[in-house]
Chains A and B, each alone.
Chain A
Amino acid sequence: MSLELIKDILLATVPLLVIFPSLFAFTTWMERKALARIQNRIGPNKIGIPCTRIGLFGLGQPAADGIKMIFKEDIVPRGADKLFHLLAPILALIPAMLILCFLPLEFPWGKFMSGQVQAFLLDSAVIFFFAISGLATLAIFMAGWASRNKYSLLGGMRAVAQMVSYEIPLVLSAVVVVMMAGSLNAKEIADVQTGFNWFVLTPWGLAAFIVFFVAALAETNRSPFDLPEAESEIIAGYFTEYSGFKFALFFLGEYIAMFAISGLAVTLFLGAGDGPFLAVAPWLSVVWFIAKIFGLIAVMIWLRGTLPRLRVDQLMAFAWKFLLPLSIFNILLAGMSHHVTVAYPGTTAQVVTWTVSLVGMYVMAKGLDKISRSTAKPREYLYAE
């Protein structure tokens, strides 16, 4: 292996390993703060600079949490499968980390590298992305199974059912972008969207983005789809039996997966690193990229503070009866509107197809919503306010 290659690999991967875990620490703080404010609390505010009373808005909280996690006793249940119990949190983290490598982040130190600026520049990046993120399901089920605990197993089963179901709308909504960009390469998809040609600004792109975002919430087990780890029902789901550093790994894996899938959403729909002032300062592209990821994460946190958890039957009905037909319909619409605009160039055709697609999408969604709802009547309460 040549020195050049080693330098390239280090320059491409080390920043990912540094930036995202530190962003993770910041995100946990942000999430706790935001949730607290949503619930009219203050949130972490005590831990700042050690040995002083300076609180720094509790920014020291993630560090304190980390220290606590590392020094905590690592408990493995007696009946557990020790090997898989150990491997599961590692396996949960690996795919999340790997996915990050596919994001078309253009670091400013790219010019010191021999050509390749991304860790992986694959022509089939999008496919690889989904293939690898599917591994996380395995890790979660492994954790649930190896713990030998009924709650863990229940959580693992829920996770598998949920992640397998939501992977389909997730992929199908990404298909639209692949169709339009004519490439599976993340970099090329990003390039197509430069100059505010973001896919989210088209009717089919908007619909696909919404479907993608919802499915991404379910894929990363975020509220309102956090059934696999529903505290009030099954303790902590698949990581009930995890403590200490292994638990921290799961936690980290979950957040990195959030970054990764938001990163993919940004790449596919929100123009990747595209933004204003790029001509003056090209390095801003990384900043825009990460800012967009953070925007999506903020919405996820906001949704978590707002929505209650779904029931299992609602979850499945939503994936199979609502998101799946909707994303297939969206592919048809996208294809048709593309061919119409190719056949009749001009603004009139564009306006007509866009209006037709928007209205068609909305009517379809409305109809599916009506069909897919559970027919059970909500329970009536006398005094609950």
Chain B
Amino acid sequence: MSILGGGIFKGMAVTLRNFVGSYFSKERFITTNEYSWRPESELPQSIGDYPKEEGEQLSDTTTVNHYSRNFPMLLHDTGEPMDTIRCVACQICERECPPQCIYIEKSTEKKENADGKPQFYPAKFDIDVSVCMSCQICVEVCPFDAIVMNSQFELSTPDRFGGLLVRRDDLLKSNDYYHKIHPQEAATRDERMAADKAAKEAKKKAAAEKAKAAAEAKAAAAEAANESKEDTE
């Protein structure tokens, strides 16, 4: 039996620890140090220093820390992105997204995926950065582990219309990248996927064996019946 209101006090203890701790340890400020991966000399020193290179805002930057979640990305396994894309354009995420910022067009014909199974794929998969609220619901609902959160935060662009619509090919990121930015989550996800796959295969095998046994039994029964028929003749 928990104390009434105990959760509130627990939460307040956490925030108090943060409050006091922020005066003593510099490491706590890591959440706001957005350029932590850069050497000191390369940090923007004054206005106008940034961006350093053209297109830098969409570069695959290593990120703040591995708790950061900002914007979805599509996953593919090792290999050519479009050959190993996991998304099958089932459009569940499109329907579940609260602000409706995902736009998917399903392909007309099937194509082999990483497992060599013919599947549909998204001919178009756009997400509007300006509308996405980073809720991660698309990630929760995807049955194919095809969409996960990226932690890129440099999404600003001078193009107000096209630039804010991220296209399929820009959304596609490899599983290795996912492992790099969210190591823990990626590991649990891989584990769970492997377990699911194994369970599915075991089930399939069992089903196949059962079907085989049933077929044999049926055949045997038929044979027996035939024989008895022959006997009566």
Q: Are B19 and A34 in contact (CB under 8 A)?
A: yes
In the assembled complex, 15 residue pairs joining A and B whose CB atoms fall closer than 8 Å, in A order, are A38-B15, A38-B19, A38-B22, A40-B18, A42-B22, A302-B12, A303-B12, A306-B12, A365-B4, A381-B140, A382-B140, A383-B139, A383-B140, A384-B136, A384-B140
In chain A, residues 338-385, which have Cβ atoms closer than 8 Å to a Cβ of chain B? Answer: 362, 365-366, 369, 381-385
Whether A306 contacts B23 in the complex (CB less than 8 A), given A40-B28, A385-B67, comes out as no
In-complex Cβ contact of A37 among B18, B67, B136, B188 (8 A): B18
Q: Are A383 and B11 in contact (CB under 8 A)?
A: no
Whether A41 contacts B29 in the complex (CB less than 8 A), given A307-B11, A383-B185, A383-B188, comes out as yes
Q: Output the nearest chain A residue to B18 by Cβ-Cβ distance.
A: A38
Q: Does A39 contact B (CB under 8 A)?
A: yes
- When chains A and B are docked, how far (Å) is the Cα of A305 from the Cα of B11? 9
In-complex Cβ contact of B22 among A40, A302, A382, A384 (8 A): A40
Q: Are A306 and B140 in contact (CB under 8 A)?
A: no
Q: Are B29 and A305 in contact (CB under 8 A)?
A: no
Q: Does B45 contact A (CB under 8 A)?
A: no
Whether A383 contacts B189 in the complex (CB less than 8 A), given A37-B22, A42-B29, comes out as yes
In chain A, residues 249-302, which have Cβ atoms closer than 8 Å to a Cβ of chain B? Answer: 302
Q: Does B47 contact A (CB under 8 A)?
A: no
Total interface residues on A, CB under 8 Å, equals: 22
- When chains A and B are docked, how far (Å) is the Cα of A38 from the Cα of B12? 10
Q: Are A37 and B23 in contact (CB under 8 A)?
A: yes
Per-residue interface assignment for chain B, residues 4 to 37, with 1 indicating a CB less than 8 Å from any chain A CB and 0 otherwise: 1000100110111011011100001111100000
Whether A39 contacts B11 in the complex (CB less than 8 A), given A365-B4, A385-B67, comes out as no
Contacts of B140 in A (CB 8 A): 381-384
- A41-B29, A306-B8, A383-B139 are known contacts; what are 6 more A-B pairs with Cβ within 8 Å? A38-B18, A39-B31, A302-B16, A303-B8, A383-B185, A384-B140
- When chains A and B are docked, how far (Å) is the Cα of A39 from the Cα of B32? 10
Contacts of B185 in A (CB 8 A): 383, 385
Total interface residues on B, CB under 8 Å, equals: 26
- When chains A and B are docked, how far (Å) is the Cα of A6 from the Cα of B189? 75
Q: In the assembled complex, how far is the CB of residue B62 from the closest CB belonging to chain A, in whole angstroms?
A: 19
- When chains A and B are docked, how far (Å) is the Cα of A311 from the Cα of B140? 21
Q: In the assembled complex, how far is the CB of residue B48 from the closest CB belonging to chain A, in whole angstroms?
A: 18
Q: In the assembled complex, how far is the CB of residue B18 from the closest CB belonging to chain A, in whole angstroms?
A: 5
Contacts of A41 in B (CB 8 A): 22, 29, 31-32
Q: In the assembled complex, how far is the CB of residue A23 from the closest CB belonging to chain B, in whole angstroms?
A: 21
Contacts of A39 in B (CB 8 A): 18, 31
Contacts of B16 in A (CB 8 A): 302
Contacts of A306 in B (CB 8 A): 8, 11-12, 14-15
- When chains A and B are docked, how far (Å) is the Cα of A38 from the Cα of B140? 29
Whether A362 contacts B188 in the complex (CB less than 8 A), given A40-B29, A306-B11, comes out as no
Per-residue interface assignment for chain B, residues 116 to 155, with 1 indicating a CB less than 8 Å from any chain A CB and 0 otherwise: 0000000000000000010010011000000000000000
- When chains A and B are docked, how far (Å) is the Cα of A305 from the Cα of B8? 11
Contacts of A383 in B (CB 8 A): 136, 139-140, 185, 188-189
Q: In the assembled complex, how far is the CB of residue A270 from the closest CB belonging to chain B, in whole angstroms?
A: 20
- When chains A and B are docked, how far (Å) is the Cα of A34 from the Cα of B8? 18
Contacts of B67 in A (CB 8 A): 385
In chain B, residues 183-206, which have Cβ atoms closer than 8 Å to a Cβ of chain A? Answer: 185, 188-189, 192
Q: Output the nearest chain A residue to B10 by Cβ-Cβ distance.
A: A306
Q: Are B189 and A40 in contact (CB under 8 A)?
A: no
Per-residue interface assignment for chain A, residues 10 to 51, with 1 indicating a CB less than 8 Å from any chain B CB and 0 otherwise: 000000000000000000000000100111111000000000
Q: Output the nearest chain A residue to B142 by Cβ-Cβ distance.
A: A382
- When chains A and B are docked, how far (Å) is the Cα of A306 from the Cα of B23? 18
Contacts of B29 in A (CB 8 A): 40-42
- When chains A and B are docked, how far (Å) is the Cα of A303 from the Cα of B189? 35
Contacts of A365 in B (CB 8 A): 4
Contacts of A303 in B (CB 8 A): 8, 12
- When chains A and B are docked, how far (Å) is the Cα of A306 from the Cα of B5? 13
Contacts of B22 in A (CB 8 A): 37-38, 40-42
* Top 4 closest pairs, chain A to chain B, by CB: A40-B28, A306-B11, A37-B19, A37-B22
- When chains A and B are docked, how far (Å) is the Cα of A232 from the Cα of B98? 12
- When chains A and B are docked, how far (Å) is the Cα of A34 from the Cα of B21? 12
Contacts of B11 in A (CB 8 A): 306-307
- When chains A and B are docked, how far (Å) is the Cα of A232 from the Cα of B135? 11
- When chains A and B are docked, how far (Å) is the Cα of A366 from the Cα of B185? 38
Q: In the assembled complex, how far is the CB of residue B92 from the closest CB belonging to chain A, in whole angstroms?
A: 14
Q: In the assembled complex, how far is the CB of residue A115 from the closest CB belonging to chain B, in whole angstroms?
A: 45
Q: Output the nearest chain A residue to B66 by Cβ-Cβ distance.
A: A385
Contacts of B18 in A (CB 8 A): 37-40
In chain A, residues 91-113, which have Cβ atoms closer than 8 Å to a Cβ of chain B? Answer: none
Contacts of B139 in A (CB 8 A): 383
Contacts of B21 in A (CB 8 A): 40
Q: In the assembled complex, how far is the CB of residue B145 from the closest CB belonging to chain A, in whole angstroms?
A: 10
Per-residue interface assignment for chain B, residues 169 to 193, with 1 indicating a CB less than 8 Å from any chain A CB and 0 otherwise: 0000000000000000100110010
Contacts of B188 in A (CB 8 A): 383
Q: Output the nearest chain B residue to A381 by Cβ-Cβ distance.
A: B140
- When chains A and B are docked, how far (Å) is the Cα of A275 from the Cα of B8? 29
- When chains A and B are docked, how far (Å) is the Cα of A305 from the Cα of B133? 21
Q: In the assembled complex, how far is the CB of residue B186 from the closest CB belonging to chain A, in whole angstroms?
A: 10
Per-residue interface assignment for chain A, residues 231 to 245, with 1 indicating a CB less than 8 Å from any chain B CB and 0 otherwise: 010000000000000
Q: Are A40 and B32 in contact (CB under 8 A)?
A: yes
Q: Output the nearest chain B residue to A379 by Cβ-Cβ distance.
A: B140
Q: Output the nearest chain A residue to B139 by Cβ-Cβ distance.
A: A383
Whether A366 contacts B4 in the complex (CB less than 8 A), given A37-B22, A38-B19, A40-B32, comes out as yes
- When chains A and B are docked, how far (Å) is the Cα of A34 from the Cα of B32? 16
